[in-house]
Structure 1
Amino acid sequence: MAIWLPARLSPFRLKLASTLSNHNSQSFSTRFRFSQQSQYRKQVSIANLLQRYGFPSSQLQNFLSKNHVLLNSNLEEIDKSLGILLSFQIPQKSLVSLVFECPGVLDFQFLKKWQIGFANLGLPSVPPLMIKSVLEHSRRFQLDQDCVFGSVEVLRGMGFSDRIVSRILEGFPGVTLMNEMEIRRRIEFLMGFGIPRDKIDWVLSSFPRVLGLGVEDRLKPLLSEFRELGFSEDLIRREVVREPKILGWELGELSRCLELLRTLKCREPIKEKIFSDGEFRAGFEVKLRVDYLCSQGLIRREAFGVLWREPRCIIYKIEDVEKKVEFLKYRMKFNISCLVEVPEFLGVNFDKQIVPRFSVIEYLRSKSGLGFQVGLRALIKPSRLKFYNLYVKPYPECAKMFGRYSDVDVKSRHPIGLWKHFKPQSFPESRQQVENMKLYMETLI
């Protein structure tokens, strides 16, 4: 960029202007570097502070890079805020999740007000997880203590105990944005459906989010769908009391689960176990597994396909399915999409098949005993004897970790020399028998 100068500017003034320009440029560069260093030091100080309170160091850099507001906060106040959060006795994992998802809770003045507010709430004991939910919700929606106090009084006025009130605020803090009429409509709908008053407490304690579902646009159409599928009201009522989360299903979900169950092609004993508690319960078990697989990265179509090809995972406990998936992702280092190609992984035994086979392959890989990559299909598909002959038998040191066939001596099916007892008895041939055989052969010619 050209700089305009007067025509009669002396050489001295020209040199002075150049010197001032260079000085200003160097001064700006120095201030910029100092600002960068100051920001970096502040970031390091905050990271060290959070680490002292148990925050994982691997996630702090990403967290601080997304929340520049913390760099302008007072380090001493952040320390005091973390101290208040610890005084609430929130579990470490939940505390980390709260700060990472809603860093605004580190506002010292905000926490100071709520520290007094929880003490004046009137509940005999305030659960730590309820405190976490209320803090996060009130910070996101800029709510004060009056909203929470009002909701507590409304729920108490309806006859709910302090334990149920705490559970509702923990599972559905959005109740603080509802008025008394909206809350009462949900309760009246549940009672009108035939759920006893003492069971209403159980439903709200197990699934507080039901208070946030619309009656006309969500709950009534859902129950109508269940009736259209052929289930009686008594059965629906029993299943709702047994698993209140059913009320949170989307329209059409149960229909899709039942469609999968009715098209299963598996052995009859497996099908009998799947439907042992009735068709409605079987649909519930399918939905649990589909939701879990989707939460791990599969799309719904893929999750339904995995269950259709491997129905055995429907009869296993959901905890067993979770254990296998976690082992697949974090121990075996496979992608969750591998289940689409090898759904049998969810159907085989974890302790007797998955773990021993992986231990053998991992050992051989560490010793450079494999010249090729063993995929999930090659790990799960072969029979036990075939896997033993391929990977265990040539390497005796793997026999103990594999277990099967290692301590058993393969014996011959029959004792040695038994064939001699089955040899046909021989008789000496007489001269007359030889003559008769010759005459018979000549007649054939």
Structure 2
Amino acid sequence: MAIRVLTRFIFHRFMSTSQRIPSCPNEKIRSLSRNPNAPIKASPEFVEKSHYRQLISLANLFQRYGFPASQLHDFLGKNRFLLNFSLVDVEKSLGILLSFKLWQKSLVSIICTCPGVLELGFLRKWEMGISELELSSVSSLMIQNVLEHSKKIHLEPADLHRSLRILKDMGYSDVTSARLFEEFPRGIMMKRHKLELELVRRIEFLKGIGILGNEIDQVFYLFPGILGVGVEDRLKPLYYEFKDLGFSEDEVRREVIKEPRILSMEAGELSRCLEMLWALKCRITIKEKILSKGPFRAGFEVKLRVDCLCRHGLIRREAFKVLEREPRSIIYQLVDIEKKIEFLVHKMGFSIGCLIEVPEYLGVNFEKQIIPRYNVIKYLRSKGGLGSEVGLKGLIKPSRLRFYNLYVKPYPECEKIFGRFSRDAEVKTRHLVGLWKLFKPPSYSQTNEDMRNIKLFMEFLV
């Protein structure tokens, strides 16, 4: 029933943009009497019913294969050409996509991004081409990216096989070749001479900084995007910058092998990150943890966090300001930073710009501080127990004890939500029971002479 209501809504929106021809039975009869051999056209009512049935069938089919019902309205409205496809062919196309062992999320993603892949002839051609690949393992991500790019830029399976042979002839392993197809399918499907030239240029650059043999294969596996980074305009100036900053050739080589994504940095980016690190004003222990793997790696960690904040809406100047005011965020893993930002925006309802005013949010513990405090405020807000709205600053900046006294202690039901300082919580002692007796000063018996001296001293004070 729900799918019928949805498809009815989609169909009416679909027909609202098309021109409807008013039907007039008398005109049809008169035209047939004048020209009995003229072809009979389908009435608009018949066309409407036909499109309506097609929409219902397509919606049922997509939903059966895991397509979210909430996205069907926009998807079918934007891709009206699917109504011209045979329902049997669309079902066969979906079956071929499932035979590639795609995850349901990947299947929905590839259909939404490039609905043209549902063309049956296109998929049959690639079904045969992928089955003939001489790779030990073919991932679903590789198939998804190859199909999307081949449909958009009109590539053939022969182009894929040619690129794979070039990589094997140049000594790349199957795992690295598959990784390149996954992460950089457009670059790996260049013309033969151009692909060979680009690979040779990057190999020569890596050899020039001391990376040889299997280490080159490892760099390409960990950072496939190196094919999209220019040698003359990006890689060489970046290497010269590393040397100008005082890093030795061995140090640069060692860091590139451990983390090849360093080569994705822009010229001047590492200098800006190190400049911020040297100017940090924080506790010595925090600065020692940040620099524990060396200044080179620390500068790159700062760059990753700046990029993370910029992806979520901050500009670079604001991102550097947030990290400068809250250096603890550099110690946390990037996954934890992403988790905190997602919780801030989608769960708590704050904008990413709030981090400029309250950067401490990224430095506090997510499980022990952010979630319990948010749950307490959410409960009090639902019960009307808040006199005024509590912003991010009022949620994060108070100490644990102050937050407890303000929002938890007056409401006993919040103690279990908050956990900390709860009466039911078990308090763990730092020392063994009875250990205090060892530190108790010894007692001495007081003699009559001691008592007389004390009295004389007290009388003197009075």
- The normalised TM-score by structure 2 is 0.79
Distance 2:139 2:426 in 1: 60
CA shift at 1:36, angstroms?
5.4
After TM superposition, the structure 1 = structure 2 runs for residues 16-27 of structure 1, keeping only pairs within 5 Å, are: none
Q: Percent of pairs identical after alignment?
A: 59
- Correspondence for 2:128 among 98, 116, 125: 116
Q: Assess, with a 3 A threshold, how the Cα gap between structure 1 residues 103 and 251 changes in structure 2: closer, same or farther.
A: farther
Q: Deviations over 1:327-350 (max 9, x none)?
A: 222322222222122111111111
What's 2:116 paired with?
104
Task: Flag the structure with larger Rg.
Answer: 1
- Correspondence for 2:403 among 387, 391, 402: 387
What's 2:231 paired with?
215
What's 2:372 paired with?
356
**Which structure 1 residue ranges, 5 or more long, are not aligned?**
1-18, 25-29, 411-424, 438-445
Q: Deviations over 1:232-280 (max 9, x none)?
A: 2211111111111111222222122122222222122211111111111
Count of aligned positions? 395
Instruction: Note if 1:156 corresponds to 2:168.
Output: yes
Q: Deviations over 1:270-295 (max 9, x none)?
A: 11111111111111111111111222
Q: Deviations over 1:60-87 (max 9, x none)?
A: 3222222222232222212111111111
- The range that moved more, 142-151 or 89-98, is 89-98
Distance 1:334 1:94 in 2: 30
**Which structure 2 residue ranges, 5 or more long, are not aligned?**
1-22, 29-41, 428-453
Kept after mapping to 2: 8 A contact 1:102/1:136: yes
Q: Assess, with a 3 A threshold, how the Cα gap between structure 1 residues 347 and 232 changes in structure 2: closer, same or farther.
A: same
Q: Deviations over 1:38-71 (max 9, x none)?
A: 5455344323322211122222322222222223
Amino acid at match of 1:105: V
- The range that moved more, 162-171 or 340-349, is 162-171
Q: Assess, with a 3 A threshold, how the Cα gap between structure 1 residues 306 and 39 changes in structure 2: closer, same or farther.
A: farther
What's 1:175 paired with?
188
Instruction: Note if 1:126 corresponds to 2:138.
Output: yes
- Correspondence for 1:59 among 48, 58, 71: 71
After TM superposition, the structure 1 = structure 2 runs for residues 242-257 of structure 1, keeping only pairs within 5 Å, are: 242-257=258-273
Distance 2:83 2:275 in 1: 54
Kept after mapping to 2: 8 A contact 1:99/1:106: yes
Helix, strand or coil: the match of 1:272? helix
CA shift at 1:368, angstroms?
2.2
Distance 1:81 1:104 in 2: 11
Q: Assess, with a 3 A threshold, how the Cα gap between structure 1 residues 360 and 276 changes in structure 2: closer, same or farther.
A: same
CA shift at 1:202, angstroms?
0.8
What's 1:310 paired with?
326
- Correspondence for 1:280 among 296, 306, 331: 296
Amino acid at match of 1:308: E
After TM superposition, the structure 1 = structure 2 runs for residues 315-334 of structure 1, keeping only pairs within 5 Å, are: 315-334=331-350
Distance 1:236 1:82 in 2: 48
- Correspondence for 2:384 among 361, 365, 368: 368
Instruction: Note if 1:290 corresponds to 2:299.
Output: no
Q: Assess, with a 3 A threshold, how the Cα gap between structure 1 residues 252 and 68 changes in structure 2: closer, same or farther.
A: farther
After TM superposition, the structure 1 = structure 2 runs for residues 263-274 of structure 1, keeping only pairs within 5 Å, are: 263-274=279-290
Kept after mapping to 2: 8 A contact 1:175/1:212: no
Q: Deviations over 1:162-195 (max 9, x none)?
A: 2222122112112111432332222222123210
CA shift at 1:364, angstroms?
1.4
CA shift at 1:92, angstroms?
2.1
Distance 1:332 1:117 in 2: 48
Distance 1:65 1:259 in 2: 52
Q: Assess, with a 3 A threshold, how the Cα gap between structure 1 residues 76 and 224 changes in structure 2: closer, same or farther.
A: same
Helix, strand or coil: the match of 1:276? coil
What's 1:415 paired with?
none
